[in-house]
Chains A and B, each alone.
Chain A
């Protein structure tokens, strides 16, 4: 089954404790991205990657890092989480070009205390 998976689905952590949210897709998509969803703000792009070893900042990259060592994986790293990073996070992937649909993962709800 074609899908985007994220882990963990739920996470409660404390300020300053490094964490990684994993994202994996099995569709051989070149393009992957991370979004955060906050009430009244919709989804905002954090980082994106157009291919292996090619990553770039989205609209709200502060406090986040990403890496793209393999085509299928695109982890999101919070080196020192803060309470304002409490949010719902979505990973997405799509083929490059055309109208290709962006496939979303199920989301990771992160709470930083």
Chain B
């Protein structure tokens, strides 16, 4: 069935780059998303990529999609302490798939040390 996997923790130093990885199983996914959850808050959409794209860059964020390996990554350049949060990868199937529901990974807790 559909499944999205992420590692649970990542620790980096301020100023370094962070790379958060995600694998998914549903080859019919149309869009893939990265959400950020700060402590005590809901989820906010960071960025997304359409399944026919390989890469998307948005300021400090770079998303890479390897559709053959079903691998998605989020790179945060010049990581800051304010980037500390839980990052969720999510895939979305087509509208026929339960109205295009989102399947979330477990979330990767990013800790940025000064």
Contact = CB atoms under 8 A, between A and B. Distances in A.
B12 interface: no
Interface of B: 4, 6, 8, 30-31, 35, 41-45, 48, 50, 88, 95, 98-102, 104-107
B43 A40 contact: no
A102 to B, nearest CB: 6
Given A102-B45, A106-B41, A33 B101 contact: yes
Given A42-B104, A58-B101, A99-B48, A106 B42 contact: yes
A31 B99 contact: yes
B98 A48 contact: yes
B56 to A, nearest CB: 12
Contact of B88 (A33, A42, A96, A97): A42
Contacts of A41: 106
B4 A90 contact: no
Interface of A: 31, 33, 35, 40-45, 48, 50, 56, 58, 90, 96-97, 99, 101-102, 104-107
B42 A99 contact: no
A42 B99 contact: no
A104 B42 contact: yes
Contact of A58 (B41, B43, B98, B106): B98
